[in-house]
Chains A and B, each alone.
Chain A
Amino acid sequence: MTSNSHLERILERGEFAVTSECGPPRGADPEVIRKKGGLLKGYVDAVNVTDNQTSVVRMSSFASCILLKEMGFDPILQMVCRDRNRISLQSDILGAAALGINNILCLTGDHQKFGDHSTAKNVFDMDSIQLIQTVKWMRDDGKFLGGEELKGVPKLFIGAAANPFADPFEIRVPRLAKKVTAGVQFIQTQCIYNMDKFDQWMAMVRDRGLHERVHILAGVTPFKSVGMARYMKNMVPGMDVPDEYIERLKGVDKENQAGEGIKICVESIQRLRTIEGVHGVHIMAIEWEEKVPEIVKQVGLHPRPSA
């Protein structure tokens, strides 16, 4: 064990992990986080907290993680490189570890162009791979990037994202290999809809033996409606939604589409569980957290192991 992470413990025991995520509110009301947390309690092993996702300003991931920690969760601090330089990143890593956050997800971050402050100056002093290296360096070598010794190392379980569907496809596995070399311990993937392509990616991952060096948690997002499926297909970069799902959702009445979306999600998880090298599932029910318990129960992953 490299940390006190509940998620690391579960993965190291070889159990199939369940994570979900919690988007912080656009305001200072802690009840929003507590309410979302309340919906997930008992159904997940760890909760990701997004870091100003899509470059829209929200309550900080760090503060939201603490609110969830107080509720007994094992939060995963998402950290993007867009807004902080190496001084600030290292400082937040130390602060997070000091307050009992055990997991970090190292991300590049969306460009500020997408957000509500598109005139901002971005930072990108480092990228996600360098951030992985930095956390590992601080934890395992006990040093700052600048070379000075740390007094008290941050015991963090290091994660990152992977998108099996982004372009160029030929470097998707080499890119994962770079993250593994940098020291990543768990991966949460982009939402998987194209199972055949994901299978192909996992086969390539296994060919290089990467599945034995990193825990891969497959990402899923339930469709609320056919409109959402179309939006994901056409508007979200790096998202691969096969037409069969759109047809399937179109085939049911409007009021039953959400139920069909949940059904698709459950079937996906069941298939993902059979793929060698997939060690868990990451359920991203965007502003639909109340559906996570139902999904987890339906796939037979409830109750979750306590410790």
Chain B
Amino acid sequence: MIVANRKPLDEIEEMIKGYQKIILVGCNECVTVCAVGGEKEVGILASELKLSRKKDGKEIEIKEVVLERQCDHEYIEQLRPFVDEYEAILSMACGAGIQFVAEKYRGKPVLPAVNTSFLGVTEEQGIWVERCQGCGNCVLDRTGGICPIARCSKSLLNGPCGGSTDGKCEIDKEIDCGWQLIIDRLKELGQLDRYEEITPVKDWTTSRDGGPRKRVREDLKL
């Protein structure tokens, strides 16, 4: 899933300080699973914003909405019947969702209430960790199912570097060395001999470096 973090309240307040009527829109997908932008979090943020305004002797009207997704036209359309009654849209979706809403309602300022962070998993209740950077050219078959791009702090394809100590990364003792994980897994799989295969320089064109990415399925187009 896409994992995000909510922005600090004061940063959100600064963004919306000129508005008295806003739509606060959550998303039922990833940001609900990672507990940052679902129905519950929309309710909490709306209350916090109203309370904070009240303290300053001011008011704000907030329409709380949670869409099934903010990355599909049909769901974003659901805002249309009332969008004109509000001055701005504050979105709690990932960066993709926020931008898609902005594209649709060009006359409205669309503001981010969260920072989109990474593609990850729920490692434990309340703990989300990064697993993929969407480089567009998966090498997991050769690295024991552990991604060197996402899990090595330097994205080394022929790691580890000299900074690996007791299985931890040189940048933080809380972060596992991705290459230690790869080596351990290759050993478990009886494939440690693969370690000596040199991975050549990567073609990054399938990653962000190739420019904004697009995928077209002709057979699915209408």
Chain A residues close to B by CB (< 8 Å): 81-82, 86, 108-111, 113-114, 122, 124-130, 133-134, 145, 161, 163, 166-168, 170-171, 174, 177-178, 181-182, 190, 237-238
Of B165, B183, B196, the contact of A178 (CB 8 Å cutoff): B196
B127 adjacent to chain A (CB < 8 Å): no
Taking CB atoms, residues of chain B closer than 8 Å to A161 are: 162
B178-206 interface code vs A (CB 8 A; 1 in, 0 out)? 00100110000000000110111110100
Of B163, B165, B196, the contact of A177 (CB 8 Å cutoff): B196
**A124 in contact with B156 given A111-B171, A166-B164, A167-B165 (CB within 8 Å):** yes
Q: Which of B167, B184, B201, B202 has the most CB of A within 10 A?
A: B201
Interface of B is mostly: loop
CB-based closest 7 A-B pairs: A129-B158, A163-B162, A127-B156, A108-B161, A113-B171, A124-B154, A237-B165
A178 x B198 contact (CB < 8 A):
yes
Total contacts A-B at CB 8 Å: 93
Chain B residues close to A by CB (< 8 Å): 153-167, 170-172, 177, 180, 183-184, 195-196, 198-202, 204
New contact pairs (18) apart from A111-B163, A113-B172, CB-CB < 8 Å: A109-B154, A111-B153, A125-B201, A127-B156, A127-B157, A127-B161, A128-B161, A129-B158, A130-B158, A133-B200, A134-B201, A167-B160, A167-B165, A167-B177, A171-B183, A178-B195, A190-B162, A237-B165
Q: 19 A-B contacts, Cβ less than 8 Å apart?
A: A86-B201, A108-B161, A109-B154, A111-B153, A111-B154, A111-B170, A124-B155, A124-B156, A125-B202, A126-B201, A133-B200, A166-B165, A167-B166, A167-B180, A168-B164, A168-B183, A181-B196, A182-B198, A238-B163
**A122–B163 CA distance with the chains assembled, in angstroms:** 16
Closest partner residue, chain B, to A81 (CB atom): B154
